[in-house]
Every structure is written in C-alpha cells, then in structure tokens.
Chain A
Amino acid sequence: GAVVSQHPSRVICKSGTSVKIECRSLDFQATTMFWYRQFPKQSLMLMATSNEGSKATYEQGVEKDKFLINHASLTLSTLTVTSAHPEDSSFYICSAVSSGAWDNEQFFGPGTRLTVL
C-alpha cells in the first residue's frame, strides 16, 4: 500500500529557532502534497498545497514566510517553521496524492509533534 513517512516524529526546540520537517512518499510518486496542522481536539487545518517543481499555495491566514515549503522531488516535501514560537507548537501532518490517482484519496504521514519552548 501507499506509505508516507515524516521525519522527525517529535521535536522540541527553543523559541526563535527554525525546524525542518520532511514528508516522503515511500512507494509512489506524488506531484501534490499537503501540509496540515492539528491543535488539540480540533480538526486538521490545511496550511498549504505543495506542488513538485513549483511554489506552494498557502491557505488564507498562513504566513508563507514563516512556513517555508519546498517540494524538490516527486517523493519529498519539506516544511520549515522559521523563528518558531510557542504558539507554533502543534501536530503537523503531511499527505500525498499519487501521481496516478483518479480519485481524491490522500495518504497521510504519521505526523510530527512540534513543541516550542
């Protein structure tokens, strides 16, 4: 089956530092990947759409200069949280759509728990 991995699974950092999260599709190519954020007891909120070889599309209210997205290959997208602050602490989840998909099924990674001290 389609597998999406995320690294790291958990990260704790000091306020003001930058953190990079990787999202990889392990057994399929993904022209489109998505980045979500989930606060406790809330729904997954789409942050941005990452398209291989082009700029990411950010949802309203998401600062593109703070959440840098790079989709350099068909199997890898990275999210960098720049100058992280405690309010950025959240569960970040990526998903990927297979290049050959005919429906809207997305495969989700296991998530990354970010804690900013």
Chain B
Amino acid sequence: DQQVKQNSPSLSVQEGRISILNCDYTNSMFDYFLWYKKYPAEGPTFLISISSIKDKNEDGRFTVFLNKSAKHLSLHIVPSQPGDSAVYFCAASGSGGSNYKLTFGKGTLLTVNP
C-alpha cells in the first residue's frame, strides 16, 4: 500500500514558468514532509521541508504548500530553470523527534524546456 503517492510520473514545463509537483499521503501520523531532487545514478538532495503545524514554507524559488485536511502537499518552483530538470521525490515521516524514517513517493520527472 503506497502511503505517499505522486500520481504524475512526469511533468514538462517551459523555462520561466511555474512548475507544480503534487503529492498525496494516506497516513495521518505523518507530521513532517520533505522534497528531494534526484539526478540519475546519484543520491537525493534535500530541497525543502514543511512541518504539519505550517501550511506554507518558502525558500527562494521553491515553495511547499501543505493541506492537512486533504492530505496533500505541493512543491512550486518559480521561475523554472532548465537546471531544475530532475526527478523530484516527496517524502514523509511521522512522530517527529527521533523517528527519522522516511516514506518516499515514486517520484515525478520534471523536464524544463529552454
């Protein structure tokens, strides 16, 4: 049973426009959410995170929105750049504190066209 779902396997966006990557989760115990960027044959790189006590977190071009009632989060990238092309993974963890176990979605391949 997939507890973290990224229903779009791929997304193509024009340079300069907004990229919106979506993620849904089913486990109500998740209280911390992270987005990672991954290139082929490399490990994931942390991008941005959000705690369940917030509904928005912004870092430069990256903003993550959390809708707890809908169990949905999204990553907005504005403006999109060709260098943003990669696979983006949504991840979730629960109970905070020392529980660092992450559950990942299957990822969304973002392609930003020049």
Contact = CB atoms under 8 A, between A and B. Distances in A.
Interface of A: 4, 6, 32, 34, 41-46, 49, 91, 93, 95, 97, 103-111, 113
Given A34-B100, A44-B104, A46-B102, A103 B43 contact: no
B49 A44 contact: no
Given A44-B89, A103-B32, A103-B49, A108 B103 contact: no
A16 to B, nearest CB: 26
16 contacts: A6-B43, A41-B9, A42-B106, A43-B107, A44-B44, A45-B104, A93-B44, A95-B43, A104-B99, A107-B46, A108-B45, A108-B46, A109-B43, A110-B41, A110-B43, A111-B43
Q: Is the interface of B mostly helix, strand, loop or mixed?
A: loop
Interface residues of B, number: 25
Interface string B18-34: 00000000000000101
Contacts of B106: 41-43
Contacts of B46: 105-108
